[in-house]
Amino acid sequence: MQALTAEMDDATLRSWLREEDPARVARLFATADAVRAAAVGDAVHLRGLIELSNACVRACAYCGLSVHHRDLPRYRMTAEEVLDCARRAAALGYGTVVLQAGEDPALSGPLIADLIRAIKRETGLAITLSLGERSPADWRLWREAGADRYLLRFETSNPRLYARIHPPARHDRPWDGQGEVPRVRMLRELQDLGYEAGTGIMVGIPGQTWDDLISDLRTFQRLDIEMIGVGPYIPHPETPLAHDFDGAAEHGQQVPNDLPTTLKVVALSRLLVPDANIPATTAVATLDKAQGREDALRAGANVVMPNLTPPQYRVLYEIYPEKACIHETAEQCHACLTARIHSIGRRVGTGPGSAPKRRRHLLQESA
């Protein structure tokens, strides 16, 4: 009944998510750690994160960059500043840069395409984009310019909860608010364009139930997704969700936004999608600055994302309060993460660090 395999049924998933016995939880993490070692090895890949703009047109109810957060000064890095960060990533030995921003229309399709080409030309690094919900035309343009991967968390697969925390934007394609959430369709579009696609969720969103988490895990599995980012929901006082209450808790079904629950979701993600790339996220590090990332790396994760954003911008990329690394420099994060990786007996990965299944696709294409 409690078998820890990719074939486990929903009842088994639920009992592991709710498991509180320390010895059994330790067994879950150890099993995920062994599956991680067998499927993707001991290397921990470093992805250099460049937060190139904190401008956003969306009003996500949980996010500190929401358009409604009017007190937040907004910035947009110049192409030369972004290129500088990418050069630094290459100098530090990273295989990948992640270009992340709010949904910022000023980051036009052609502007980002030029940036992708410049980074490729100068550094040859793998490029991951995390620029929100954009048009299929932009996604195609960027793929043709050389982008390799795209991150778009669906946050929750429960359509009612999704709709409640994601007010629609004017440019959205119509959605009846039922069935599959829009970002799951978008992830398939990204995969069809040849991107390695990454997604993820927040754990402990107000109103999120255990059934929702099971459905989220099943969605990772169904998409056979290449990357899975999981972090705790951290209330931001300037957002509506921080003051919202749904009532799931009254029925004992509210998922807590704590580290143990988040780590269980990380471990189960590894078991269900063994060859995915799974980061130890900044949100996990924020809940436990001393050990959070190490704990995640020992519960199934195999990636970390050192921050390369220049310090004067970093403090303004305040998705949630007390975010880890907000006062550090690129060099400090690099040294910090390298030491953490070595402290748990792992090694730093070299090269782009693609998900194994993507490497299989590439081999098939070239055969």
Using CB under 6 A as the criterion, which residues of the chain lie in contact with ligand FES when the complex forms? 306-307, 325, 328, 332-333, 336-337
With CB under 5 to 8 Å by kind, the binding choice for 341 among ligand FES, ligand 5AD, none is none
- Binding ligand 5AD (rule: CB under 6 A), the pick from 142, 320, 338, 358 is 320
**183, 152 Cβ separation under 8 angstroms:** yes
231 binds ligand 5AD (CB under 6 A): yes
CB contact burial 111-138 (16+ within 10 A = b; e otherwise): ebbebbebbbeebebbbbbbbbbbeeeb
49/126 with CB nearer ligand 5AD: 49
Taking the least distance from each CB to ligand FES, the nearer of 54 and 286 is: 286
DSSP string, 99-165: EEESS-TTS-HHHHHHHHHHHHHHH--EEEEE--S--HHHHHHHHHHT--EEE---B-S-HHHHHHH
Residue 233 contact partner, candidates ligand 5AD, ligand FES, none, CB within 5 to 8 A by sort of partner: ligand 5AD
Is residue 234 a contact point for ligand 5AD (CB under 6 A)? Answer: yes
Contact partner at residue 291 from ligand 5AD, ligand FES, none, CB < 5 to 8 Å by partner kind: none
**Cβ(186)–Cβ(151) under 8 Å?**
no
The interface partner of residue 231, options being ligand FES, ligand 5AD, none and the CB cut-off 5 to 8 Å by kind, is: ligand 5AD
Yes or no: say if 234 and 205 are a contact pair by the CB < 8 Å rule. Answer: no
> 3-state secondary structure string, 12-38?
HHHHHHCCCCHHHHHHHHHHHHHHHHH
317 scored as a contact of ligand 5AD (CB under 6 A): no
For residues 95 and 232, which CB has a smaller minimum distance to ligand 5AD in the complex? Answer: 232
| Chain residues in the site for ligand 5AD (CB under 6 A) | 62-63, 153, 155, 202, 231, 233-234, 236, 283, 319-320
